[in-house]
Amino acid sequence: MAEENKMIKFIITRQDDPDGKPYEEEFAVPYRENMNVISALMEIRRNPVNAKGENTTPVFWEMGCLEEVCGACSMVINGKPQQSCTALVDQLEQPIKLEPMTTFPVVRDLAVDRSRMFDSLKKVKAWVPIDGTYDLGPGPRMAESKRQWAYELSKCMTCGVCLEACPNVNDRNDFIGPAPLSQVRLFNAHPTGEMHKAERMDALLTEGGLQDCGNSQNCVKVCPKGIPLTTSIAAVNREATIHSFKSFFGSDYHN
Amino acid sequence: MADQEKREYNLRRLHSLLGVIPIGLFLMQHLVVNHFSTYSEEAFNTAAGFMENLPLRIVLEFGLIYIPILFHGIYGVYIAFVSEMNLGRYGWFRNWMFMLQRLTGIITLIFIGWHVWETRLANAIYGTEVNFDMMASILSSPFMFWFYVIGVLSAVFHFANGLWSFFVTWGLIITPRSQKIMTYVVLVVFVVFGYMGIASLIAFAS
A90-124 tens-digit pLDDT: 999 999 999 999 999 999 999 999 999 999 999 99
Nearest CB partner across the interface for B92, out of A221, A241, A247: A221
**Residue B109, domain CATH:** 1.20.1300.10
Q: What is the DSSP letter of A48?
A: -
Count how many residues are written for chain B: 206
**Residue A221, domain CATH:** 1.10.1060.10
Confidence of residue A2 (pLDDT cuts 50, 70, 90): low
pLDDT digits (tens, 9 = 90+) for A37-93: 999 999 999 999 999 999 999 999 999 999 999 999 999 999 999 999 999 999 999
Confidence of residue A135 (pLDDT cuts 50, 70, 90): confident
Domain that holds residue B31: 11-205
Cα→Cα distances A200→A117, A197, A210, A239, B155, Å: 16, 5, 12, 11, 37
Nearest CB partner across the interface for A214, out of B13, B83, B173: B83
Q: Is the pLDDT of residue A131 over 90?
A: no
* Mean of pLDDT values over B20-37: 97
Number of domains in chain B: 1
Same domain, A107 and A125: no
| 3-class SS of residue B60 | helix
Q: Which pLDDT score is estimated for B73? A: 98
Same domain, A145 and A132: yes
A142 phi/psi in degrees, rounded to 5: -120, 135
Domain that holds residue A214: 115-249
Share of chain A above pLDDT 70, in %: 98
In chain A, what residues touch B179 (CB-CB under 8 Å)?
230, 234
Same domain, A79 and A38: yes
Q: Chain B within 8 Å of A228 (Cβ-Cβ)?
A: yes
CB-based contacts of A29, cutoff 8 Å, min separation 6: A7, A8, A10, A40, A43, A44
Number of domains in chain A: 2
Dihedral over alpha carbons A239, A245, A246, A249 (to 10 degrees): 180
Cα→Cα distances A154→A127, A135, A182, A188, B69, Å: 11, 25, 9, 12, 42
Same domain, A72 and A198: no
**Pairing mode, strands A169-170 and A173-174:** antiparallel
Say how far apart CA B92 and CA B178 lie, in whole Å: 19
B2 assigned to some structural domain: no
* Mean of pLDDT values over A209-216: 97
Contact at 8 Å (CB) between A60 and A109?
yes
* Mean of pLDDT values over A154-180: 97
* Mean of pLDDT values over A197-220: 96
Burial class (CB in 10 A: 0-12, 13-18, 19+), A125: buried
Could B7 and A207 be called an inter-chain contact, meaning their C-beta atoms sit closer than 8 Å?
Answer: yes
Same domain, A103 and A143: no
